[in-house]
Amino acid sequence: MDLQKDELMKITCDREQLLAAFMTAATVAPSRSPKSILRNVKLEVTSEMTTLMATDMEVGIRIEVGGIEVDKPGTILASVILLGSILRESNDDKLTIESDENGTIVRGERSEFKLPAENPDEFPAVAGFSEEAYHEVPVRLFKELVRRTLFATDAESSRYALGGVLLEMEEDKITAVATDGRRLAKMEGSAKSVGGHGAGDTMTIVPSRAMQLMERALTDSGDEIQIAAHANDIMVRSPRATIYARLVEGRFPKWREVFPSRRESVQIEVAVGPFYSTLRQAAIVASEDSRGIDFTFDKGTLILAGSTAEVGQSRVELPIAYDGEAIKVTMDHRYVADFLKVLDSDKPITIDIQDAESAALFTTDDGYGYVVMPLAREQ
């Protein structure tokens, strides 16, 4: 085979490194769009670095990828489906990618693919990070912010603000909040404002999809990321990736008012592992129509009881350090399980309860709070 032309670009890449970066970028590219050019990833190659770019006009990403030997710098557009499939299916450790005026050629040791060309100059610009005011946030904390709040968003709601995570940034702190109206998750931790960056009066509600992408792209060894929020968008930069996202429009609920006042509540400490195990057992008889589990806090014992007419009944006990009057509250077991799933099994949590009509508050010692509204239990 002789497909050689005058190359506009030529690189030799470590296939696995390029595949990992390419597939992360590809999650941004829309599978369907009136603008077919968006179903590509842009590769911009200079002698110093290779950058992958993708956008759906709402979210954009730039990723620097290693393991690239540059023979000739240049820029190409690569089909998400075609190049993604080649990178995934190839058995070669190294692949050569080159372009000419007729298309892109991908070569392995015993394979060769000729792909059609599109003009990279027509691809929309994907913003880089050039901010002077931003927040510095530890990578580990940011990943926890996402993991511990994202599940509580509600993409199906007509209230668009519930389909994202609220980020509040203060001088030395960042707080993430998500709610679907039936439960609310809040995680906070230490962060540093640089250049006077602060959210001000603007509501920074980041779309759930963008938060997922940010968490996925932050696999670098860097200790910190930079976050810059504006009136309509947000930029996040890690050592290898920069992500841009338009913010969700709408007003986020006044979440501080949702957190129960605890003047008359009871606080009980339990370990995640035993509590989660007990909950899973009690939920065996739950169904889509009957998701409520009765949580009865009694002297020395937490009793979890479920009942579904066509399935059966359950009653499971967990020893607890409590010697007060019995308090029973009915909650959706899935909401409680969602909270426990994102915590280490040996972690202690505190449960604040008041009565059957009041919300239950679950907290940890590292800035995580979770509110679950009670269910009205039919007798």
Q: What is the pLDDT of residues 37-76, one digit of tens each?
A: 999 999 999 999 999 999 999 999 999 999 999 999 999 9
Q: Is residue 250 domain-shared with residue 307, that is, in the same domain?
A: no
- Tell whether 2 is covered by a domain: no
Average pLDDT over residues 345-361: 94
pLDDT for the residue numbered 376: 80
Whether 331 and 356 have beta carbons less than 8 Å apart is answered as no
Q: Which of 233, 255, 277 is the last residue of a domain?
A: 255
- Tell whether 319 is covered by a domain: yes
* Vertex 53: Cα angle to 96 and 9 (nearest 5): 35
Ranking 96-105, 151-160, 359-368 by mean pLDDT, the lowest is: 151-160
Average pLDDT over residues 113-139: 94
As a whole number of Å, the CA-based R_g of the chain is 25
Q: What is the pLDDT of residues 81-91, one digit of tens each?
A: 999 999 999 99
Q: Is residue 249 domain-shared with residue 176, that is, in the same domain?
A: yes
Q: Is residue 245 domain-shared with residue 300, that is, in the same domain?
A: no
* C-alpha dihedral sign at 357, 278, 314, 286: positive
Q: Is residue 114 domain-shared with residue 14, that is, in the same domain?
A: yes
CATH of the domain at 274: 3.10.150.10
Q: How many domains does the chain fold into?
A: 3
SS3 assignment for 176-199: EEEECCCEEEEEEEECEEECCCCC
* Domain region containing 311: 260-372
pTM of the predicted protein model: 0.90
- Tell whether 128 is covered by a domain: no
Going by pLDDT thresholds of 50, 70 and 90, the confidence category of residue 372 is very high
Quote the percentage of the chain above a pLDDT of 90: 80
pLDDT for the residue numbered 201: 63
Average pLDDT over residues 352-372: 95
Query: Does residue 341 have a pLDDT over 70?
Result: yes
Quote the percentage of the chain above a pLDDT of 70: 95
Q: Is residue 88 domain-shared with residue 145, that is, in the same domain?
A: no
Q: Which of 221, 240, 255 is the last residue of a domain?
A: 255
Q: Is residue 111 domain-shared with residue 190, that is, in the same domain?
A: no
Q: What is the pLDDT of residues 180-212, one digit of tens each?
A: 999 999 999 999 999 989 866 678 999 999 999
> Phi/psi at 7 (nearest 5 deg)?
-75, 140
- Tell whether 191 is covered by a domain: yes
pLDDT for the residue numbered 222: 64
CB atoms within 10 A of CB 360: 21
Q: Is residue 153 domain-shared with residue 202, that is, in the same domain?
A: yes
Cα distance between the two ends of the chain: 77
pLDDT, the chain, mean: 91
- Tell whether 1 is covered by a domain: no
Q: What is the pLDDT of residues 264-318, one digit of tens each?
A: 789 999 999 999 999 999 999 987 777 799 999 999 999 999 988 888 999 999 9
Task: Find tokens 């309860």 and name the residue.
Answer: 353
pLDDT for the residue numbered 360: 95
Whether 344 and 265 have beta carbons less than 8 Å apart is answered as no
Give the pairing type, strands 9-14 and 68-72.
Answer: antiparallel
Q: Which of 255, 279, 302 is the last residue of a domain?
A: 255
pLDDT for the residue numbered 19: 97
